[in-house]
Amino acid sequence: MTKPKTVMPKSREIAAIGLFGALSIILTVISNLILKLAFVPPVNYLLFDFGEIPVMISFLMIGPRSGASVAVIEWLALNLLPTSTPLIGPLFKFMSVMLTLCGLWIGWKIVRTSDLKMKFGISSAVSAVLRATVMTIPNAALLVLFFGLPDFSRTLYFFLELTAIFNVLQVPFDLVPTYIVVQLPQIRHMLRKNGMTWFEWRVPKKIK
C-alpha cells in the first residue's frame, strides 16, 4: 500500500464536503418530492434515495470523515422535508447510511486485493448485510410502537423482511453509480491531481 502522492489541503477538503453536501441535499429533495422511487406495498413509504450517492463518493474519494460529514448534511436536509415519521424517519435513514459507510470501510480494510471491482463487490456485500441486520431492531421497535403492529406476529415479520430487502437493495443503488464514477479515466485523473484518492491508496497494489 502506498500513500497518496498529493494530500488534499484542509480548506479544499472542507470545500469538497460542502459541494458533496449540497449535491446530497439536491438529490435528497428529488428523491423525496419529485421522483419518489417507492418500494413495494405495504412498505411503499420506503423511498430509494439518490442523496446517499454523494455520501459514498465523498467517503471513497476523500475518506471516512468526509463521508460521515456529508451523511450528517443529508440527515439535516431530511429533517426539513415532509415525512410520515418526523425526526424518527430521518434518524433511521441516517443510521442506515452510517451502517453502509461502516460496512464499506470494513470491506475496504479487510479485502487485500488490487482488483477494484472485487473490493467494491465484497464491501457492498458487507454493507448490505450490516445495514439490513442491524436496522432490523430499531425498525421492529418503530413498527410496534408507532404503527401498532402486534409483537412477534406474522405481519411484523413480513414488514421487517420487506424492509430488510429494501435496505439490501439500497446499497447497490448507492454503490453501482459510485463505482462507475470513480472508474471514469477523466475522473481518476482529476482525483489524483487533487489528492482525492482515499479509495486508491487503500489498495495494496496498483489498480489496473
- Cell 441535499, residue located: 25
CA gap 145, 41 in Å, rounded = 20
Percentage of residues in the chain having pLDDT higher than 90:
69
Q: Where are the domains of the chain?
A: 10-201
Q: What is the mean pLDDT of residues 68-92?
A: 92
Cβ(128)–Cβ(171) below 8 Å: yes
- What was the pLDDT predicted at 7? 63
Q: What is the mean pLDDT of residues 179-207?
A: 77
Cβ(164)–Cβ(181) below 8 Å: no
For residue 95, give the nearest of 152, 52, 125 by alpha carbon: 52
Protein fold of 10-201: Arp2/3 complex 21 kDa subunit ARPC3 (1.10.1760)
Cβ(106)–Cβ(98) below 8 Å: no
What is the reported pTM? 0.90
Output 131 or 181, whichever has higher pLDDT. Answer: 131
Output DSSP code: residue 2.
-
Question: Is 50 exceeded by the pLDDT of residue 30?
Answer: yes
Cβ(116)–Cβ(128) below 8 Å: no
pLDDT tens digits for 108-163?
888 887 788 888 999 999 999 999 999 999 999 999 998 899 988 999 999 999 99
For residue 123, give the nearest of 145, 101, 139 by alpha carbon: 101
- What was the pLDDT predicted at 185? 86
